[in-house]
Amino acid sequence: MALLHRQSAITESVFNMMESCVTEFSHCGAVREPSGSGISGVVPSGTFRTSDVHFVTIGGNGNSVYTRLMAAIGRPDMGADNPLYANNSERCKREAEIMGEIESWVASRTQAEVEDAMKGARVPCGPIYSTRDICGDEQFRARGAFQNAVPPEGGHSFVLPSMAPQLSSTPGSTKWAGTSLGFHTEEVIKGELGMSDERISELREIGAI
């Protein structure tokens, strides 16, 4: 009965990730526009391509972490102790310059090299996962993120995302994975249209069904 007193909207999970967008709008009417892979008004923060064609996200938002980031990429002169980059407001004025330095540095190194350097400098950094990365990640498997399904007509099983969130007593699962295209064609044209087997064969021969 407790479930009758709970409600949720699909928009709420994303709404709570909007950070200060609502506050900015209500306070001064500012509306954020598309800003690519970065975060509007926060420099540096973005996604960068590595030399081995992977993508990593790096964030150097605070003054101290920003200074460590710039030292790690060989530009300690651009740290927060330089008045030109002393705080986020100043860095926003020089966003193209700062992001360009980081982009060039990352582009000349592999994903592993970038992640190792950022870890050593205590700078937030993480890979952008492809589907291959997700399916090969042991953490996803340990969390039960995948389930196998078999089409009703048989054949090879395939993998589907599991239900989320998972409840301990009623975790949920996919009971029916759907059928292949045209699986019910004969059933429909026989049952609903009353066609004979002979007529169905004729239509198949000419490619109508």
Domains (ranges, CATH) in the chain? 37-128 (3.30.1540.10)
**Could you tell me the sign of the dihedral formed by the alpha carbons of 94, 86, 73, 75, in that order?**
positive
135-155 CB burial, b ≥16 within 10 A, e <16:
eeeeebeeeebebeeeeeeee
Report the pLDDT value the prediction gives residue 4, as an integer from 0 to 100: 62
Q: How far apart are CA 109 and CA 99, in angstroms?
A: 16
Structure-token pair, residue 94: 């020089």
Dihedral Cα 44, 46, 48, 54, nearest 10 deg: 140
Report the chain's mean pLDDT, rounded to a whole number. Answer: 90
Render pLDDT for 88-109 as a digit per residue (tens, 0 to 9): 999 999 999 999 999 999 999 9
Please determine, for residue 190, whether its predicted confidence score (pLDDT) is greater than 80: yes
Give Cα 103 distance to the centre of its chain. Answer: 21
Q: How far apart are CA 86 and CA 99, in angstroms?
A: 16
Residue type, 162: S
Report the pLDDT value the prediction gives residue 178, as an integer from 0 to 100: 78
Report the pLDDT value the prediction gives residue 43, as an integer from 0 to 100: 95
Please determine, for residue 1, whether its predicted confidence score (pLDDT) is greater than 70: no
Render pLDDT for 135-148 as a digit per residue (tens, 0 to 9): 999 999 999 899 98
The enclosing H or E element of 46 equals strand 45-49
Render pLDDT for 43-98 as a digit per residue (tens, 0 to 9): 999 999 999 999 999 999 999 999 999 999 999 999 999 999 999 999 999 999 99
